Structure 1
């Protein structure tokens, strides 16, 4: 047990989240509701409190977000999107509830978002970037339906996002960014195509994201942010190069982002905690092998015990 890690305070913070539906902020953030369900469920699981997730309520809410198209919306009555769809599938898998939805219909929705060049749209409006292709690959793989995707074209499109500095951008020609490095590297790992990139060069770019405070940033000359403890660390874990950064300094930085009074993590010390930064701070600590947390799979961003259970 790490005395400076406020485990019980974080658990209480997460439990209070479900009591927020009478506040104005709850209704002003409908676009984040399904995301928040995923972030909070994963956080509780990593903290060893998966038995305290209200399975029936969570599954019922997720099913209420399923649209006629086969995709999931952020909240009932909203449009479906690939990001909400992968979050829904991740949580349903964690809760052993995938059999309660039509995975063939969901897979058909995802596959139909793939463009002729191998990329993937986020929704019917056509926006395309690496996040959406990763979400589709993750989602199909979790449902055992990755064979329905044109994997060769998907791989080729991802490699077009590969930059001269060893990292990846959101689309071909775009600047390298930590979050997109994660999506591209994790997608290649799921597709078993990591041999297409220079892992040492990639590891160099990722390890250069650690700043003097010990935290990680997403691009050169930017401030560190606790969420990059996931976005930068997970591709390092995938290519087995976590030791290329100073673990102890990163752990100390993440701990400074804790709210000692109310629980949760913020992006940086003294900012306001939120469930997004709480989730990815815990995920980063889990990748670092923190003794108070369960292990996490860096490819899928789900608990390792779940990915092992389903042979992923």
Structure 2
């Protein structure tokens, strides 16, 4: 079995932020705050968050804040969106700096995006997707503001996106997809609503995502991709069906996607690395209890010690 090149992955992540003009940096410009969340969480899982200048990171995150509405943009000067607001809140939670937030304004922004049917729009333009239901519920839970939304309606909307195969889509009738399933299962777990899930039926659909090379895919007839090491496995763990896949084969698949010279993890072996797949590869290995990594919470997508601090601090 290959070994995890932890030190090289740390150097790769730190180098991404310094390179402002290369292709990876330019294509991520609109979602840089997501990239910061992926990179910083990876560093924390590798016990290396102290390699980052905390004050500088927090200062930049707060430059993405829109004090007129309470939401965060994907980069400085970009429009606010639920996807970016959750990443900002997660980053501040990593650093234990949620106190820099105007929690009332942020929770007002998030709750204001709930629609009459319980769904959530991503921003003022109105696109609806179960990803946004997860973002809203996870964000408000971290901020201890779940009372700001109609949780029952939010849960009912998510349940309405459940399909006959046990999976979930982005809207009612949408195709089951591993990424959407994580969003729906994560949101149901946070709200204490997993009784709505047929765990055996969903577990079967999810374990069928393991390919012959050991990796996991997002839906039938697709190639394996490292990012589904998170989307599929976290859902299986939440519904207690992770023992239905071959974990050692999945570990091998993730480790074979590393750039062993320069660091970083790609979607599949021998492809170009990026910070997105580096995070989901390391997070997947954390879920698989790979030695030396911090454990990660499968619903909140944050290290377990961070989640414990959020909810059990004395």
Q: Is the structural similarity TM-score above 0.5? A: yes
1:202 aligns with 2:207: no
| Shift of residue 201, structure 1, vs aligned partner | 1.1
Which whole-Å CA distance do the structure 1 matches of 2:244 and 2:27 have between them? 41
Tell me what 1:48 maps to: 47
How many residues were matched structurally?
Answer: 311
Q: What does residue 104 of structure 2 align with?
A: 104
Q: What's the CA shift for 1:73?
A: 0.3
Specify the alignment match of 1:267 in structure 2. Answer: 267
Partner of 1:15: 14
1:254 equivalent in structure 2: 254
- Unmatched tracts of structure 1, length 5 or more: none
Where does 1:39-188 land on structure 2 (aligned, <5 Å)?
Answer: 39-67=38-66, 68-188=68-188
d(CA) in 1 for partners of 2:91 and 2:224?
29
SS across alignment from 1:297: coil
Query: SS at 1:268's partner residue?
Result: coil
Change in 2 beyond 3 A, CA 1:25/1:310: closer
CA contact (8 A) 2:24 2:274 kept: no
> Is the Cα–Cα contact under 8 Å of residues 169 and 176 in structure 1 kept in the other structure?
yes
The corresponding residue for 1:298 is 298
Q: Post-superposition shift, 1:21?
A: 2.3
TM-score, normalising length: structure 2: 0.97
Report whether the alignment pairs 1:189 with 2:189.
yes
Q: How does 1:267-286 map to 2 (within 5 A)?
A: 267-286=267-286
The answer to whether the Cα contact below 8 Å between 1:7 and 1:292 also exists between their aligned partners in 2 is: no
How far does residue 29 in structure 1 lie from its aligned partner after superposition? 3.0
Runs of 4+ in 1 over 2 A off after TM superposition: 21-29
Change in Cα spacing, 1:242 to 1:24, as seen in structure 2 (3 Å) is closer
> Gapped runs of 5+ residues in structure 2?
none
Q: Is the 2:2–2:255 contact (alpha carbons within 8 Å) kept by the matching residues of 1?
A: no
Q: Deviations over 1:168-193 (max 9, x none)?
A: 01110001000000000000000000
Indicate conservation of the 8 Å contact 1:286/1:295, yes or no: yes
TM-score by length of 1: 0.97
Whether the aligned pair in 2 keeps the contact of 1:70 and 1:106 (CA below 8 Å) is yes
What does residue 221 of structure 1 align with?
221
Residue 165 of structure 1, CA deviation: 0.2
Aligned-residue offset at 1:136: 0.3
Q: Could you tell me how far 1:78 is from its partner in structure 2?
A: 1.0
SS in 2 for 1:137: helix
